[in-house]
Amino acid sequence: MSIVKMEKVVKNYHVGKVEVPALRGISISIEEGDFASIAGPSGSGKTTLLNLFGCLDKPTEGTIYIANQDVSKLSSGQLANVRNRNLSFIFQTFNLIPVLTAFENVEFPLILLKKSRTKERSDMVMKILAEVGIAELANRKPNEMSGGQQQRVAIARALVKNPKVVLADEPTANLDSKTGEDILKLMLEMNQKTKTTFIFSTHDPMVMNYARRLIKLHDGRIESDERM
């Protein structure tokens, strides 16, 4: 079943008076539980595609569906709601909130959702921190953790609200290869355990090896789309 779907999506950017095409008519469907990698050289449109999947940007043309809802023409407030309910992000530079502890960083999206009570929230946070293997670091702040540990917190933060899709923009780019591989293994493990869809961008062959589906972009078009 399709969880994210794009139909003839075009995205152009304006650089001064010049219109620069980033995506040129992309149509693609990401299935529930996919562990998909978007690969391609710099400027091929990976980040643009990921931003559109993540409702961080709007297409110039075409339609995008998230969990069967057309999000192409929603207002920024409505897009924030869609992101809040369905999507999570893992960033290349971790982007944890430096003044909050690991526990509080993971708790943050649950507070934005305003769903769970304090006790329930605390249990959910500790459970996911344990699953990503850093329960003992719950009270540490980001500057007291290594890059790999911070990315684990970021993964826990992404998964704690049980999103339909986790989007990761080059999640291992700021990590050494050993730690990067550990992070990918963890993401794959969480994908298999929770059936959460993962879409991540990369140009690292090692990362591509872990993907169960590899979508290659070139000049804003899909060059290939293979299941591994």
Partner 1 sequence: MLFKLAFRNIFRHFTRTFLTFLAIALGLAMLILIDSMLTGIDQESFDRVINYETGHIKIFDRGYREDEENLPLDKSIKDPKPIISKVKVDPEVAGITSRINFRIVLSDGIDQYPAVGVAVNPADDQAVFRLKQAVIKGEFLSGTEETMVLGEDLAKDFGVSVGDYLTILTRTKYDTYQAIDLRIKGLLKTEDPKIDWAAVVIPLEVGQESLEMEESVTEIDIKLKDPSKVKDFRDKLNKELPGLEIATWKDLAADVVAIAQAKRMGTGFVLFSVFIIALIGISNTILLAAFERTREIGMMAAMGMRRGQIVHLFVLEGAMIGLLGSITGCLLGILINIPFVKYGINWGFVMRDVGDIGYRVTGVSRGVWNISMIVTAFVAGIVISALTSIYPARVASRMEPTEALKRV
- Binding residues for partner 1, per CB under 8 A? 51, 54, 56-57, 76-77, 80-81, 83-85, 87-89, 91, 93, 95, 97-100, 104, 107-109, 111-113
Look at residues 221, 225, 217, 173 and name the one whose alpha carbon lies nearest to residue 41: 217
Cβ 37 vs Cβ 222: under 8 Å: no
Cβ 102 vs Cβ 129: under 8 Å: yes
Cβ 181 vs Cβ 206: under 8 Å: yes
What is the closest distance, in whole angstroms, from the C-beta atom of residue 209 to partner 1 in the complex? Answer: 27
Cβ 98 vs Cβ 142: under 8 Å: yes
What is the closest distance, in whole angstroms, from the C-beta atom of residue 106 to partner 1 in the complex? Answer: 11
Cβ neighbours of residue 7 closer than 8 Å, sequence gap 6 or more: 27, 62, 63, 64, 65
Nearer to partner 1 among residue 56 and residue 135 (C-beta): 56
Nearer to partner 1 among residue 67 and residue 214 (C-beta): 67
What is the closest distance, in whole angstroms, from the C-beta atom of residue 133 to partner 1 in the complex? Answer: 22
What is the closest distance, in whole angstroms, from the C-beta atom of residue 99 to partner 1 in the complex? Answer: 4
Nearer to partner 1 among residue 90 and residue 210 (C-beta): 90
Nearer to partner 1 among residue 69 and residue 224 (C-beta): 69
What is the closest distance, in whole angstroms, from the C-beta atom of residue 57 to partner 1 in the complex? Answer: 5
**Max Cα distance, the chain (Å):** 54
Nearer to partner 1 among residue 168 and residue 210 (C-beta): 168
Phi, psi of 159 (to 5 degrees): -95, -15
